[in-house]
């Protein structure tokens, strides 16, 4: 079964450094998302992306965050200057079509640790 | 805005017993509801969804969920729990008019042998 793949699985960075989290969505999917999960509990929406532009973003997704689909397969999340509170598990997700019954397919996540 | 609530942080059940993981929702308009499961160090996996139609929805791994409009609930159920069902379960709602899915706070299910 096709999967969403994320790299790296674990990223450690120092406060103030830039990080790029990478995702390869399922090949025929058109809608892409980033979510994050803090302390293994609450799953928070960051951003959705369609047709090479942001569809919606949350209040968490401030100017330090950006997303990009640099080629036909990758979908990246960049944090420009990381803060301690950015430490979390970041999940990429995709869906095939944007109808209300279309479930999200998640990758296994990147654990970001900011020291 | 749409929202879902999971009132229990943790549910313990003995193997072989029926399990219920609770979810209530608050939506304007028709609700589009989902259940996901998360195993340790993994992403969320889709279990089942309710859009319209039958109030009892069947999903993966023997799980089902009962939609109750009068109680605004969408509880996840399984007739006979397995130890391997131990995981974190999330209820979610599709935010109508947006591309966003909103997740509950999660319920940790522990099935005891």
What residues of chain B lie within 8 A of the CB of A108, using their CB?
41-43
How far, CA to CA in Å, does A104 sit from each of A14, A33, A97, B2, B42? 31, 9, 10, 17, 14
Label residue B49 by pLDDT band (50, 70, 90).
Answer: very high
B83/A contact by beta carbon, under 8 A:
no
Show residues of chain A in contact with B32, CB under 8 Å.
100-101
Q: Using an 8 Å Cβ cutoff, are A111 and A7 in contact?
A: no
From CA A109, how far away is CA A93, in angstroms rounded? 9
In tens, the pLDDT along B66-95 reads: 999 999 999 999 999 999 999 999 999 988
Specify the pLDDT at position A100: 65
Reported confidence tier of residue A71, pLDDT bands at 50, 70, 90: confident
For range B48-54, the mean pLDDT: 87
Nearest Cα of chain A lies from the Cα of B27 at a distance, in angstroms, of 14
Contact (CB<8Å) A106/B45:
yes
């Amino acid at each position: 079964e096709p999967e969403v793949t994320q790299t790296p699985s674990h990223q450690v960075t120092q406060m103030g450094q830039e990080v790029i989290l990478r995702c390869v969505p399922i090949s025929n999917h058109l809608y892409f998302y980033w979510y994050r999960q803090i302390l293994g509990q609450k799953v928070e929406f960051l951003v959705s992306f369609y047709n090479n532009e942001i569809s919606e973003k949350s209040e968490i997704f401030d100017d330090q965050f950006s997303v990009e689909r640099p080629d036909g397969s990758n979908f990246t999340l960049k944090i420009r200057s990381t803060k301690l509170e950015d430490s979390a598990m970041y999940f990429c997700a995709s869906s095939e079509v944007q109808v209300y019954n279309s479930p999200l397919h998640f990758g296994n996540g990147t654990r970001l640790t900011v020291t | 805005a749409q929202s879902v609530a999971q009132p229990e942080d943790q549910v313990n059940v003995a193997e072989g017993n029926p399990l219920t993981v609770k979810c209530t929702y608050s939506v304007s308009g028709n609700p589009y509801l989902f259940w996901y499961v998360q195993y340790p160090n993994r992403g969320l996996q889709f279990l089942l969804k309710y859009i319209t139609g039958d109030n009892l929805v069947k999903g993966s791994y023997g799980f089902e969920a009962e939609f109750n409009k009068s109680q605004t609930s969408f509880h996840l159920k399984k007739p006979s729990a397995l130890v391997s069902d131990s995981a974190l379960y999330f209820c979610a709602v599709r935010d109508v008019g947006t591309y966003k899915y909103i997740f509950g706070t999660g319920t940790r299910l522990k099935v005891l042998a």
